[in-house]
Amino acid sequence: MGAWEENVRRVTPYTPGEQPRRQDVIKLNTNENPYPPAPGVRRILEGFDTDSLRLYPDPAAASLKDALAEACGVKPEQVFVGVGSDDVLAMAFLTFFNSEKPIVFPDITYSFYPVWAEEFRIPYEVRSLDGEFHVVKEDYYGENGGVIFPNPNAPTGLAMDLEDVEDIVRRNPDVVVIVDEAYVDFGAESALPLVEKYENLLVVQTFSKSRSMAGMRIGYAVGSPKLIRYLEDVKYSFNSYTMSRLALECGTEAVKDRAYFEETVSRIVQTRESAKKILRDMGFLCTDSMANFLFVTHPEHRAEELFLALKDAGIFVRYFSSPRIDNYLRITVGTDAQMEALYRFLERYLNRGKSV
Ligand code: PMP
């Protein structure tokens, strides 16, 4: 090893779900939305003034922040935007988790949290979910350097009541509490109304799931003006033009189409609820997910085998070989037709060798 390597900041990177090059797969592995973005987004792209790309985008991202502020019922100075919520969360870790005390998050959760903590040298401790994968709110009381959890949690899909979320925030007045609401629109209660009451609460959301725009990379955070100012100072110290002109315009347009958003979200929720029933009828145990994915295990079939068999059949789902969840599959809710193909395959697979 060269001496220079001793001083390299080394990280074990987060492993994103596979993005297969083949187009002919049924892709239920990265919690993308199976429906297209709002129709206005296409209109923006078709009419986009390419000449405008000569110019830098608005560093303040004012149009997008104004639209989000209106949609969230807050002031524009309470909104921060970034390149997907991963970017927003990374900035928030760097800005707010700067204590000697460990930050805390669940043992089973979004696997990017420990990666940022290690990258930024933030001490952390995990708190175990209970035997049924619920967050135990009391575990987040007491001294710490900050708190973060998703609601609904990933990959379990389980949501916490707003009262419990508020309880965690109320019990942690001396640190910043981040609620990662990547999946909140599919059935959990948002903590947005609490930002007026708690100066130290940051709520993070994304366009990647409920707004069908994972490829555009837009995420945002809502909090007190003070919290947002601190975040912006850190962000502008990295790169002041993080949002492209295209993303700003498309994002602004997407937020304005509330009706389309509600319609596609409700289709996904319906498909999810029928999927729970169908998979349970096949013998799967299935958490009561409030997200756009299901988290399932089968008492007679190893999840890893199922994952590989599904992949062979061109149906991609997500498998995590981590403790406690290594016999589970996370299946993104697709269109009804995609889910039908999944059910047909599973039925055949589970009944192999059984006489009919
Ligand atoms: N939070 C959670 C809990 C997630 O599952 C994801 C998706 N991988 C994200 C944040 C980040 O999503 P994005 O960067 O696409 O907004």
pLDDT digits 0-9 by tens, 310-323: 999 999 999 999 99
- CB-ligand 1 contact for 219 (6 Å cutoff): yes
Which of 85, 151, 203 is the pocket-test mutation for ligand 1 (most atoms within 8 Å of CB)? Answer: 85
Q: Look up tokens 């080394």; give the residue.
A: 10
Residue 145, ligand 1, Cβ within 6 A = no
Cβ within 8 Å of residue 10, ≥6 positions away: none
Which residue is associated with the tokens 């509330």? Answer: 258
Instruction: Read off the pLDDT band of 4 (50, 70, 90).
Output: very high
Under DSSP, is residue 124 helix (H, G, I), strand (E, B) or coil?
strand
Cis peptide bond upstream of 152, omega within 30: yes
Q: How many CB atoms lie within 10 A of CB 23?
A: 6
Question: Average of pLDDT values for 201-217?
Answer: 98
Q: What would the two tokens of residue 330 be?
A: 């996370």
Strand spans (E) along 21-164: 26-27, 79-82, 103-106, 124-127, 146-150
Beta bridge partners of 178: 148, 202
**Ligand 1 centroid from CA 354, angstroms:** 40
- The one-letter amino acid at 22: R
d(CA 164, CA 314): 40
pLDDT, average across residues 270-289: 98
Q: Is 182 in the pocket of ligand 1 (CB under 6 A)?
A: yes
Q: Which tokens go with 175? A: 């640190």
Instruction: Classify domain 21-36+259-350 by CATH number.
Output: 3.90.1150.10
Spatial CB neighbours of 249, under 8 Å, sequence gap ≥ 6? 44, 48, 63
Token pair, residue 229, equals: 């100012």
| Count of residues in the chain | 356
pLDDT of 117-158, one tens digit each? Answer: 999 999 999 999 999 999 999 999 999 999 999 999 999 999
Mean pLDDT over all residues of the chain? 96
* Structure token pair of residue 101: 């005390």
Phi, psi of 34 (to 5 degrees): -80, -10
For ligand 1, whether the C-beta of 106 sits within 6 Å is no
Asked if the model's pLDDT at residue 225 lies above 60, the reply is yes
Task: Tell whether the torsion through CA atoms of 308, 310, 313 and 316 is positive or negative.
Answer: negative
Q: What is the whole-number distance in angstroms between the Cα of residue 352 and the centre of ligand 1?
A: 36
Q: Is the CB of 150 under 6 A from ligand 1?
A: yes
DSSP β-bridge partners for residue 286: 296
Cβ(81)–Cβ(219) below 8 Å:
yes
Q: What is the pLDDT of residue 23?
A: 83
Helix (H) or strand (E) holding 348: helix 336-350
Residues of the chain with CATH 3.90.1150.10: 21-36+259-350
What is the spatial distance between Cα 137 and Cα 73, in angstroms, rounded to a whole number? 27
Residue 85 CB less than 6 A away from ligand 1: yes
pLDDT of residue 277: 98
351 Cα: distance to centroid of ligand 1 (angstroms): 35
Domain with CATH 3.40.640.10 in the chain: 39-256
Q: Let me know if domain 39-256 sits in CATH 3.20.20.140.
A: no
Hey, is 104 helix, strand or coil? strand
Question: Which of 112, 205, 210, 320 is the best mutation target for the ligand 1 pocket, counting ligand atoms within 8 Å of the beta carbon and taking the most?
Answer: 112
Question: What pLDDT is attached to residue 356?
Answer: 53
pLDDT at 220 over 60: yes
Which residue(s) pair with 94 in the sheet? Answer: none
Q: How far is the CA of 310 from the centre of ligand 1 (A)?
A: 24
Cα Rg of the chain, angstroms: 21
